[in-house]
C-alpha cells in the first residue's frame, strides 16, 4: 500500500494535524476505500476525514492546489465561519497548544492602502495588550501574508445578540439592564486604553453560557476604514447604530458615536426592532441623521423609567447631551452586581427550553404573582399536615408524598413528559460516588436520583437493569477516560440522564440485547473543544459471543450529542427505535459490520424525529433493510440520511410510510431502493430543545399526500417507562 505523498505528509506533520501513528491507524480504512486502486492522496484524506482526524474544511483545503493555505502563522485553520467580498473569518487553533483556539480574519486590502491599514492594525494590537477585561475581545495578532492581512483574536463561546433576538424575540428589561451595565463597564476599560470599538451592533456582542457579556472585534472596523462609508451592498443592520454627527461629516468613530450605538442596541433588545427599521441602508442612514430615537417605552411599556431615561440619554441626537464618555456612563449606570452574571446565565439557559407563550408582561406578572400565592398556600397546608403526623407518631414523608402523588402527577402527566421535568436539580445532588450498588437477585442496579453517579464496571451472567426512580431521572456524569462498562447477556438502561464529554465512549456494553427506555443522552458543557471537534461514539455496543448478532431497542429517548450516538460492532444487527428525538450530531447509529459484506442490519424507526441532525445511519459494508414509519427527517442541509462510506453501490432498501423528508436531503448517494418518503418542510412547535413538546408538529404541511390520521414524528405524550416487561425472550440480532 502506497503511503501519502511526501508533500502531504510534510503539511500534516508541520500543522500538527496527524503523525505517523495516526496514519498507521488509518491504513485499514484506506484499504477498504481503495480496494484494488492506487492509494492516492485523496484516498488518505477521505480516511483521515472518516476517522475524525481532519474536518471537512481541512480535507477540502489539503486536496486543493494550495494546501499550504491551511496554515496561517502559528495557527492551523479548522472551519470557515463566514466572510464577505473582501474578508473571510475562520476558526483556527494553535499548532503548539492544540487546546487553544483563535478567530482569524483574512483581509484582502487594496495595495495602495495596504501598508497604512497594516500599520493601524499593528498599533491597535499594541494598545490592546494592556486590556485584560473579560467583556472585550480585541485583536492580539496581525500578520502580512502576501496580499492578505491576517488579524487574530481570542475565541469566545456563545451566541451573539442578533441570533438570540431572532430566536426568542425582545429581551426582558432586567436582562437588558444587566447587559447595558456590563457593556458600559467593558467599553470604559477599552476607552481608557485609547481604543474605540467603532462597530458596536448586535452581531458583535456575545453572551457566553457562563453569563459574560462580551464585545468582540473591538477596534478592527475603524482600523481598516476610519471614515464612515455608506455602502449600499452591505446589510441594512450594519447601520442600525450610526450616530447622526458621523453621518453628517462622514467622520471617524468616537466615544460619543459608540455611546449612541450602544443606546440603539439596547433599544432593539427591549423593543424587538431597531429604532429605524428601514430595509435600505441609505434610508436608514437618512433616518438617523434627521430623526430622533423614540422613547423605548412606546414599544416596551414595561421598561423601568431609569432604563428608558438612560437609553434616551445615550441616543440623544446632539452628542453634547450624551454622557461625556463611557467612564461617565459607567458612573451613571453603577457597578455591575455579582448576581447580574448569574441572571444573564439563567437567561441564556432558558433558550434551551420552549418559547414562552404570547402573553403580555403585565398579564405574565399577574399570573406569576398568583402562582406564588398558590405555592405559599400549598406549602402551608403540607407543613401543617406534616406537623400533625409527627405529633401523632407517624411518618410525615409518606403522607406528604401521597398528597403530592395523588394530584400533581395526574394533572401534569399529559402536559410535561417525565424525560424533561424529572431531572433532579444539581443543587440538591450529593457529591458523586465512584462505587455503584450491587445487583439484586433480579439483576437490578438502582441508582439514587439524589446524587450524581460516575463511571463503573458491572459484569453478570444474567441480565442487568440499571435504572433510576420512576419519577426522577438519575444522572450519570461520564468523566473523560472513565466510561461505564457493562457485560451481560441482556442490558436495560431506564430512567437515566447520561452526560459526558465530546470524546467517547461513555458506555461500553457487551451484550446480545440492549434496551434504552426513557433516557436522555447529551454532551456536557465544556470550555474546551467545540462541537465540530467532537470525536467517538457515546455508546459502543458489541456481543462477546463471537458470531452472534446484536439487538438494540430505544424507546422514548432524547439524543443531543455532537458525534455519533451509538456504534454497534456486529456482523448481524437489529435496531428498533420508537419515539426517538435526535438533535444535532453526526450520526445516530454507526454500524461496524466487521468488514463483512454478508452482514445484515434490520432497522425500524417509528414515530421519531430528527432535527438539524446528521445521518440516521453510517456504515461501510453489509446489507441494510430499513423501515421508516411516521418519522420526520429534518436533517441539516448537505447531510445524507443513510451515509454509505463503502466503495461501490450500497446494498440498501428503505421503505417509508407516512414519513416526511425535508426537500433537498439525499437519502443515499450510492444508490439503493427508496420508496414511500414524502418531501415536505415540517413546522415544529418550538426550537430544537430536549423538551419533546418543542419538536412535535404544530400542523401538517399543506398539500402533503400520503399522510394518515396520526401525525408523524415523536409523540410527546408517550414518555411512559417500559415497566417490568421481560426482555430476556427477545431474539438476539435475528434478521
Q: How far apart are CA 254 and CA 198, in angstroms?
A: 7
Q: Cα–Cα distance between 500 and 492 in angstroms, integer?
A: 19
Neighbours of 170 (CB within 10 A): 16
Q: Which of 94, 58, 59, 98 is nearest to 78 (CA)?
A: 58
Q: Report the pLDDT value the prediction gives residue 340, as an integer from 0 to 100.
A: 65
The label of the residue with cell 474536518 reads: 55
Average pLDDT over the chain, rounded to whole?
79
* Per-residue model confidence as pLDDT tens digits over 657-674: 888 888 878 888 778 888
Which residues are bridge partners to 522 per DSSP?
499, 560
Within a 10 A sphere around the Cβ of 337, how many other Cβ atoms? 11
For the segment 334-344, what is each residue's pLDDT rounded down to a tens digit? 877 766 667 78
Stronger pLDDT, 706 or 116, i.e. the higher one: 116
Higher-confidence residue: 84 or 357? Answer: 84
pTM over 0.85: no
Percent of the chain with pLDDT over 70: 81
Can you give the pLDDT at residue 407?
34
Q: How far apart are CA 713 and CA 578, in angstroms?
A: 10
pLDDT over 90 at 603, yes or no: yes
The yes-or-no verdict on residue 85 having pLDDT over 90 is no
- Among 129-138, 328-337, 457-466, name the most confident range: 457-466
Assign residue 92 a region: left if phi > 0, alpha if psi is -120 to 50, beta otherwise? Answer: beta
pLDDT for the residue 443: 87
Bridge partners of 414, per DSSP, are: none
Please check whether residue 171 is in contact with residue 302, taking contact to mean a CB–CB distance below 8 angstroms: no
How many angstroms separate the CA atoms of 677 and 605, rounded? 13
Three cell numbers at 161?
445578540
Q: How many CA atoms lie within 13 A of 407 on its CB side?
A: 5
Tell me which of 155 and 707 has the higher pLDDT. 155
Q: Which helix (H) or strand (E) holds 265?
A: helix 255-271
In angstroms, the CA 250 to CA 229 distance is 7
* Per-residue pLDDT at 492: 93
User: What DSSP element (H or E) covers 727?
Assistant: none
Predicted pLDDT of residue 397: 40
Find where cell 453628517 sits: 248
Domains within the chain, CATH numbers bracketed: 1-72 (no CATH), 80-155 (3.30.200.20), 159-352 (1.10.510.10), 383-409 (no CATH), 512-525+534-699 (no CATH)
Burial 650-685 (b: 16+ CB within 10 A, else e): bbbebebbbbbbbeebebbebebebeebbebebebb
Q: Are 512 and 548 in contact (CB under 8 A)?
A: yes
pLDDT at position 234, please?
Answer: 77
pLDDT value of position 338: 66
Task: Tell me if 485 sits within 8 A of 457, measured CB to CB.
Answer: yes
Q: Is the pLDDT of residue 561 over 70?
A: yes
What pLDDT score does 140 carry?
Answer: 85
CA distance 193 to 407: 61
Q: For strand 609-611 and strand 697-699, is the pairing parallel, antiparallel, or unpaired?
A: unpaired
Query: Is the separation of the CB atoms in 128 and 120 below 8 Å?
Result: no
Which residues does 61 contact at the CB level (< 8 Å), separation at least 6?
Answer: 67, 69, 70, 77
* Angle, vertex CA 600, rays to CA 597 and CA 603, nearest 5: 140
Q: Phi first, then psi: what are they for 484, rounded to 5°?
A: -85, 130
Tell me the pLDDT tens digit for each residue of 182-218: 999 999 988 888 888 988 999 899 998 888 899 988 8
Q: What is the pLDDT of residue 681?
A: 81
DSSP secondary structure of 531-600: GGG--SEEEEEE-SSTT--EEEEEEEEEEE-SSEEEEEE-SEEEEEEEEEEEESSSEEEEEE-TT-TT-E
Select the more confidently predicted residue: 598 or 653. 653
What's the grid cell of residue 355?
A: 418559547
Dist. CA 182–CA 165, nearest whole Å: 18
d(CA 4, CA 7): 8
- 219-228, 480-489, 639-648, 724-733: least confidently modelled range: 724-733
DSSP codes of every residue in 379-405: HHHHHHHHHHHHHTT--HHHHHHHHHH
pLDDT at 652 over 70: yes
Question: Which residues are CB-contacts of 361 (< 8 A; sequence separation ≥ 6)?
Answer: 172, 301, 302
- Cα–Cα distance for residue pair 468/446, rounded to 1 Å: 6
The number of beta carbons lying within 10 Å of the beta carbon of residue 143 is: 18
For residues 709 and 3, which has the higher predicted lDDT (pLDDT)? 3
Per residue in 398-415, pLDDT (tens digit) is 333 333 333 333 333 333
Residue 355 confidence (pLDDT): 56
CB 489 within 8 Å of CB 513: yes
pLDDT score recorded for residue 493: 93
Confidence tier at 52 by pLDDT (50, 70, 90): confident
Better-scored residue on pLDDT, 173 or 355:
173
CB 287 within 8 A of CB 160: no
Strand pairing report for 444-446 and 457-459: unpaired
Q: Choose from 101-115, 580-594, 670-684 the range with maximum mean pLDDT.
A: 580-594
Q: What is the pLDDT of residue 184?
A: 92
For residues 114-134, give the mean pLDDT.
Answer: 85
The SS3 of residue 159 is: strand
Q: What would the 3-class secondary structure string for 648-668 be?
A: CCCEEEEEEEEEEECCCCECC
Amino acid at each position: 500500500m502506497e503511503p501519502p505523498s511526501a508533500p502531504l505528509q510534510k503539511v500534516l506533520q508541520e500543522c500538527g494535524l496527524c503523525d505517523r501513528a495516526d496514519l498507521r491507524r488509518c491504513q485499514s480504512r484506506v484499504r477498504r476505500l481503495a480496494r484494488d486502486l492506487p492509494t492516492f492522496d485523496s484516498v488518505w484524506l477521505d480516511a483521515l476525514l472518516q476517522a475524525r482526524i481532519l474536518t471537512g474544511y481541512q480535507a477540502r483545503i489539503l486536496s486543493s492546489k494550495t494546501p499550504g493555505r491551511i496554515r496561517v502563522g502559528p495557527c492551523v485553520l479548522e472551519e470557515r465561519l463566514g466572510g464577505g467580498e473582501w474578508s473571510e473569518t475562520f476558526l483556527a487553533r494553535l499548532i503548539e497548544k492544540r487546546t487553544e483556539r483563535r478567530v482569524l480574519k483574512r483581509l484582502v486590502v487594496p495595495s495602495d492602502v495596504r501598508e497604512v491599514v497594516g500599520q493601524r492594525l499593528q498599533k491597535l494590537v499594541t494598545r490592546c495588550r494592556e486590556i485584560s477585561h473579560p467583556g472585550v475581545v480585541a485583536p492580539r495578532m496581525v500578520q502580512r501574508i502576501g496580499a492578505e492581512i491576517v488579524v487574530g483574536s481570542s475565541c469566545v463561546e456563545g451566541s451573539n445578540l442578533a441570533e438570540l433576538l431572532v430566536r426568542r424575540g425582545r429581551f426582558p428589561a432586567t436582562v437588558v439592564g444587566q447587559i447595558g451595565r456590563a457593556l458600559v463597564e467593558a467599553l470604559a476599560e477599552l476607552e481608557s486604553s485609547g481604543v474605540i470599538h467603532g462597530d458596536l451592533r448586535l452581531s458583535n456582542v456575545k453572551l457566553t453560557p457562563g453569563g459574560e457579556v462580551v464585545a468582540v472585534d473591538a477596534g478592527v472596523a475603524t482600523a481598516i476604514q476610519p471614515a464612515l462609508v455608506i455602502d449600499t451592498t452591505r446589510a441594512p443592520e450594519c447601520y442600525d447604530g450610526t450616530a447622526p454627527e458621523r453621518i453628517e461629516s462622514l467622520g471617524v468613530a468616537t466615544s460619543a458615536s459608540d455611546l449612541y450605538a450602544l443606546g440603539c442596541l439596547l433599544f432593539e433588545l427591549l423593543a424587538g426592532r431597531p429604532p429605524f427599521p428601514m430595509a435600505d441602508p441609505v434610508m436608514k442612514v437618512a433616518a438617523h441623521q434627521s430623526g430622533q430615537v423614540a422613547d423605548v417605552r412606546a414599544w416596551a411599556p414595561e421598561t423601568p423609567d431609569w432604563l428608558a431615561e438612560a437609553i434616551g440619554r445615550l441616543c440623544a441626537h446632539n452628542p453634547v447631551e450624551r454622557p461625556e464618555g463611557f467612564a461617565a456612563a459607567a458612573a451613571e449606570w453603577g457597578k455591575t452586581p455579582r448576581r447580574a452574571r448569574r441572571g444573564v446565565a439563567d437567561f441564556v439557559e432558558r433558550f434551551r427550553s420552549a418559547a414562552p407563550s404570547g402573553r403580555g408582561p403585565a398579564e405574565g406578572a399577574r399570573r406569576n404573582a398568583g402562582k406564588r400565592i398558590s405555592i405559599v398556600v400549598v406549602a402551608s397546608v403540607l407543613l401543617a399536615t406534616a406537623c400533625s403526623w409527627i405529633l401523632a407518631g407517624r411518618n410525615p414523608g409518606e403522607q406528604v408524598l401521597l398528597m403530592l402523588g395523588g394530584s400533581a402527577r395526574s394533572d401534569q402527566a399529559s402536559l410535561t413528559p417525565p424525560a424533561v421535568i424529572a431531572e433532579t436539580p444539581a443543587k440538591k445532588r450529593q457529591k458523586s460516588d465512584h462505587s455503584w450498588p450491587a445487583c439484586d437477585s433480579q439483576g437490578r442496579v438502582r441508582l439514587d436520583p439524589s446524587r450524581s453517579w460516575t463511571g463503573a464496571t458491572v459484569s453478570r451472567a444474567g441480565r442487568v437493569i440499571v435504572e433510576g426512580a420512576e419519577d426522577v431521572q438519575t444522572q450519570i456524569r461520564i468523566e473523560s477516560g472513565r466510561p461505564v462498562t457493562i457485560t451481560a447477556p441482556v442490558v436495560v438502561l431506564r430512567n437515566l440522564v447520561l452526560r459526558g464529554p465530546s470524546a467517547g465512549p461513555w458506555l461500553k456494553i457487551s451484550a446480545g440485547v440492549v434496551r434504552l427506555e426513557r433516557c436522555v443522552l447529551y454532551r456536557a458543557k465544556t470550555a474546551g473543544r467545540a462541537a465540530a471537534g467532537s470525536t467517538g461514539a457515546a455508546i459502543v455496543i458489541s456481543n462477546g459471543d463471537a458470531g452472534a448478532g446484536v439487538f438494540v431497542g430505544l424507546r422514548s429517548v432524547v439524543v443531543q450529542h455532537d458525534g455519533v450516538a451509538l456504534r454497534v460492532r456486529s456482523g448481524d444487527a437489529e435496531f428498533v427505535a420508537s419515539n426517538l428525538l435526535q438533535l444535532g450530531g453526526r450520526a445516530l447509529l454507526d454500524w461496524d459490520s466487521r468488514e463483512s459484506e454478508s452482514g445484515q442490519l434490520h432497522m425500524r424507526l417509528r414515530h421519531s424525529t430528527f432535527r438539524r441532525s446528521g445521518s440516521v445511519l453510517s456504515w461501510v459494508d453489509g446489507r441494510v433493510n430499513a423501515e421508516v414509519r411516521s418519522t420526520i427527517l429534518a436533517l441539516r442541509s448537505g447531510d445524507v440520511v443513510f451515509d454509505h462510506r463503502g466503495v461501490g453501490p450500497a446494498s440498501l432498501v428503505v421503505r417509508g410510510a407516512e414519513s416526511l423528508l425535508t426537500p433537498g436531503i439525499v437519502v443515499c448517494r450510492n444508490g439503493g431502493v427508496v420508496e414511500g418518503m414524502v418531501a415536505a418542510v415540517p413546522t415544529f412547535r418550538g426550537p430544537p430543545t430536549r423538551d419533546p413538546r418543542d419538536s412535535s408538529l404544530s400542523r401538517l404541511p399543506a398539500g402533503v399526500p400520503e399522510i394518515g390520521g396520526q401525525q408523524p414524528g415523536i409523540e410527546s405524550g408517550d414518555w411512559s417507562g417500559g415497566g417490568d416487561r421481560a426482555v430476556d425472550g427477545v431474539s438476539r440480532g435475528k434478521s
